[in-house]
A and B are shown apart, each in its own frame.
Chain A
Amino acid sequence: GEDVEQSLFLSVREGDSSVINCTYTDSSSTYLYWYKQEPGAGLQLLTYIFSNMDMKQDQRLTVLLNKKDKHLSLRIADTQTGDSAIYFCAESKEGSQGNLIFGKGTKLSVKP
């Protein structure tokens, strides 16, 4: 099965909070990342969390990590139309020499 799983779509209204969820299967994952991809563009690193942390906050972004359930979430506060994009969760495994395992991405649509 997939190493990293995400729901494919999320639709929210401008000004609401968005929560994008991700599950991973490898308990040896060391770093977990969130990337943003706009149409026709490359990947923009949003934030990351080390596996010994529970939470990380960076301006409008909050990452929560539940190691027991292997669940990662990204909360975007005060979502704006410019946040519309595909969001990828990725894990870096111990001993993998740094290569990232990505989910299929969650397409976030923000309605005005």
Chain B
Amino acid sequence: DAGVTQSPTHLIKTRGQQVTLRCSPISGHKSVSWYQQVLGQGPQFIFQYYEKEERGRGNFPDRFSARQFPNYSSELNVNALLLGDSALYLCASSLGSVRTEAFFGQGTRLTVV
């Protein structure tokens, strides 16, 4: 069975640009969460979507947005990129919205120059 897949694996963008990251959850999983992992730190929660609705939002600015599609895949959008947005962006999928194991993808490494 395919695990969580994320695309692209690496990305380089310029300050001020916009970026879209994509995630396909494990088949049958309805919840997708996004995390930002800055070098040397643990992942920080950005969003959770369940059944196409936002169920949780972390402490991130409005430049960050996400959505979930009918097939449960998800996109994370970041506008007006800053140098500080450079990080590994991780997507996690789980069966339900709460208290279930979360399985992570390999991540998208975003570098803002």
Contacts and interface: CB of A to CB of B under 8 A. Distances in A.
Interface of A: 4, 30-31, 33, 35, 40-45, 48, 88, 90, 92, 96-105
A99 B48 contact: yes
B68 interface: no
Provide the main secondary structure of the chain A interface.
strand
B19 to A, nearest CB: 18
Interface stretch (B37-45, B69-77, B78-86): B37-45
B97 interface: yes
Contacts of A43: 43, 90, 92, 104
A101 B31 CA distance: 17
Contacts, number: 73
24 contacts: A4-B42, A30-B99, A31-B99, A42-B104, A43-B90, A43-B92, A48-B101, A88-B42, A88-B43, A90-B42, A92-B98, A96-B98, A97-B55, A97-B98, A98-B48, A98-B56, A98-B94, A98-B96, A98-B102, A99-B56, A100-B43, A101-B45, A102-B42, A105-B42
Contacts of B25: none
B42 A97 contact: no
A92 B98 CA distance: 8
A57 to B, nearest CB: 17
